[in-house]
Amino acid sequence: QLQLQESGPGLVKPSETLSLTCTVSGGSISSSSYYWGWIRQPPGKGLEWIGSIYYSGSTYYNPSLKSRVTISADTSKNQFSLKLSSVTAADTAVYYCARRPSGRGYGMDVWGQGTTVTVSS
Amino acid sequence: DIQMTQSPSSLSASVGDRVTITCRASQSISSYLNWYQQKPGKAPKLLIYGASSLQSGVPSRFSGSGSGTDFTLTISSLQPEDFATYYCQENYSNLFTFGGGTKVEIK
């Protein structure tokens, strides 16, 4: 059974870089059948797609965040990571990692439980 | 960018009611539309993909329809565990934009 687990600091200072890791168990991120991505949800608000990575290493980012976002993968650890630079209070959110089958028309079918990140000095 | 607008933003319904939620895209997205259910403190759960395909394990009381710009999620007979917030999401543009959500509350 595939499981995703987010990890990383729960508190980040303004202007610093937020770093999170998603550890995948029960499946391989090296599979060509899936994309692996990050989504966030500010407190009391809706969902925002941040970006995704494919097994080939190709990355796709939300243009609104692209200048600050890097998503990378470590296939030896079966993990993928998110880095968001120059954070502000507006980046305070629950961050989720999720899997999406490749090919158009598929939704994000497996999600991590989410991790809360607060940006504050 | 494609904008996704859901209506209503909230609704009150009783167990056994038929519930319909609407999602409208700012441009045609063919059938590239997904629906998710989110309960408080939990991750979203995929219900429908490709506008009308039921995700494995999802009860058949959930159904989706539509294409182009107008889509609906229908719950044929609302159950106690269905009280949650529902989101639509497009995956036509590869930006995976979500709608603002519809909160289904107990009447």
pLDDT in tens, A52-63: 999 999 999 999
Residues in A closer than 8 angstroms to B50, CB to CB, are 105-106
User: How does pLDDT run across B40-99, given as a tens digit for each residue?
Assistant: 999 999 999 999 999 999 999 999 999 999 999 999 999 999 999 999 999 998 789 999
Cα-only R_g, chain A: 14
Q: Give the mean model confidence (pLDDT) for residues B32-46.
A: 97
B46 Cβ neighbours under 8 A, 6+ residues apart? A107, A108, A109, B34, B35, B36, B55, B58
Instruction: Inform me whether the pLDDT recorded for B16 exceeds 80.
Output: yes
Instruction: Inform me whether the pLDDT recorded for A42 exceeds 90.
Output: yes
pLDDT band for A29, please (50, 70, 90 cuts): very high
State residue A104's pLDDT score. Answer: 81
Could you tell me if A65 and A51 are in contact, meaning their C-beta atoms sit under 8 angstroms apart?
yes
pLDDT > 70 fraction of chain A, expressed in percent and rounded? 100
Could you tell me if B66 and B33 are in contact, meaning their C-beta atoms sit under 8 angstroms apart?
yes
Question: Are the beta carbons of A49 and B100 separated by less than 8 Å?
Answer: no
* Coil, strand or helix at A70: strand
> Hey, what's the torsion of the CAs at A4, A78, A49, A93, to 10 degrees?
60
- Of A104 and B40, more confident: B40
User: How does pLDDT run across A91-102, given as a tens digit for each residue?
Assistant: 999 999 999 999
Instruction: Inform me whether the pLDDT recorded for B22 exceeds 80.
Output: yes
pLDDT band for A68, please (50, 70, 90 cuts): very high
pLDDT band for A41, please (50, 70, 90 cuts): very high
State residue A103's pLDDT score. Answer: 84
Q: Which of B1, B43, B99 sits opposite A112 (nearest CB)?
A: B43
Residues in A closer than 8 angstroms to B91, CB to CB, are 100, 104-107
Choose the weakest-confidence range: A20-29, B17-26, B92-101. B92-101
* Coil, strand or helix at A61: strand
Q: Which of B55, B91, B96 sits opposite A105 (nearest CB)?
A: B91
Could you tell me if B37 and B84 are in contact, meaning their C-beta atoms sit under 8 angstroms apart?
yes
DSSP symbol at B98? B
State residue A27's pLDDT score. Answer: 93
Query: How far is the CA of B69 from the CAs of A50, B6, B23, B50, B72, in angstroms?
Result: 24, 12, 8, 13, 10
